[in-house]
Structure 1
Amino acid sequence: MRPLRLVWIYPDLLSTYGDRGNLLMLERRARLRGLPVEVTEVNSDQPVPRDGDIYLMGGGEDLPQTLATRRLQADGGLHEAANRGAVVFAVCAGYQVLGMEFGGTDGAQVPGLGLLDIRSGRGERRAVGEIVADVDPALNVPRLTGFENHQGVTRLGPQARPLARTTLGTGNGDGTEGAYAGRVLGTYLHGPALVRNPGLADLLLH
């Protein structure tokens, strides 16, 4: 049996608030199913493998976020993997990177990877604290809980669906939290998200 290939993208730039726990949780739950797992951690000076099954990105500060985006654009590996149907899961800054654009350090918009039809900017207030959100019923995942710490405001375009609707906390800033399209999914939830929400981890493993 070919191992499940998990790829952790740029932990040297995007790995705040314990987001590496998402990788550990996926590896653990896959092994509980009897699946062999191969984990690859790719730093920003290394090429992104094209043959992964699930790609993970965490949060980060503004400058590392912009640097990571430019290197991923130049590398092209994540685009190629997503286009062939790999799963992509990104948190906070990584979530914004997947979109069409996000707010940079000087307030100017930075072009994103374009893997999700979302646009992010900088809100007036920082969202810090617990978040609770009810997942899109189509995904059949229990209510999400997590921790958010961001100043992002994210608008979804017609090609993206909200991952969930908030009952507590800020999320995207409009009553929704996260977004997904096909097998590409992003969220503002730390915690880490997949440790606090094993149903979401299982969704990614399907």
Structure 2
Amino acid sequence: MSDTSSRLRIVWIYPDLLSTYGDRGNVLILRRRAELRGIATEIVHVHSSDAVPVEGDIYLLGGGEDRPQILAAERLRADGGLKRAAERGAAVLAICAGYQIIGESYGDDADNPLPGVGILDVRSGRGETRAVGEIVADVDPNLGVGRITGFENHQGRTAIGPNAVPLSRTVRGIGNDGQTEGAYQGQVLGTYLHGPALPRNPELADLLLRWRVGAIPPLPPSWGERLHEERLAAAL
């Protein structure tokens, strides 16, 4: 965890710009699964007028519309705090618009390329059709997560560069390109999954916790696991 705190610091980036699809649920489930294991947490809300602290442990970014996405990317690039935090080893989970803007570049509403924050080696643009609906994908076995489920609603298409790895291979849905979904690089992870992603996929939440605190004990199956299985069954 952070060198300056005995608590796990969960930093929610720009909820005033990037929280279109209930992304606060990712914050809540991450805190809950940490505290069930006796890990004290601190939630830090960083609005778009605030500086991004460098001392956080896990940074969360959500989805947003085109204009808020552009504003968020501009402010994150100018601020530099998120990039410095990633460079010092913090974990990052970015959803949909957040996923696109942490990459090297992304497209605006006219598909003009704009610079991203540059902490994930992906480049995003606009596809010819919109991807809407349930998505199911099998996560890279190296991450120990298994199959994930979510809801996608985006027109983005994302190409993964040589320094990043696809998060998963699609079973149903579009994701990046109809074959892969999301990407990760070190402890930086991006995905198009809404739902929200972590309540639907508690193992993904546990992955973020392991990245920051090391080995964690398993939890008995509860409503999170039941929701996960229910949504998988409904989608396939």
TM-score by length of 2: 0.86
Query: Matched residue of 2:127: which SS?
Result: strand
Task: Determine which of 147, 154, 159 is the counterpart of 2:158.
Answer: 154
CA distance in 1, matches of 2:163, 2:26: 26
Correspondence list, 1:1-206, <5 A: 2-206=6-210
Distance in 1 (CA, whole Å) between partners of 2:111 and 2:202 is 36
Deviation, 1:107, is 2.3
Structure 1: where are the runs of 5+ without partners? none
Q: Which residue type is aligned with residue 40 of structure 1?
A: V
Once the two structures are TM-superposed, the CA of residue 203 in structure 1 deviates from its matched residue by 0.2
Query: Residue 105 of structure 1: SS of its match in structure 2?
Result: coil
Q: Give me the identity figure in percent.
A: 67
Distance (Å, rounded) in 1 between the aligned partners of 2:177 and 2:183: 12
Alignment size in residue pairs: 206
Q: Aligned-residue CA RMSD in angstroms?
A: 0.8
SS at match of 2:6: coil
SS of match in other structure, 1:191: coil
* Cα distance between partner residues in 2 of 1:134 and 1:116: 20
Q: Which is higher, the Rg of structure 1 or of structure 2?
A: 2
Uncovered stretches (5+) of structure 2, i.e. residues with no partner: 211-236
Shift of 1:142: 1.9
Runs of at least 4 residues off by over 6 Å: none
The structure carrying a bigger strand percent of its residues is 1
Q: CA deviation at 1:5?
A: 0.2
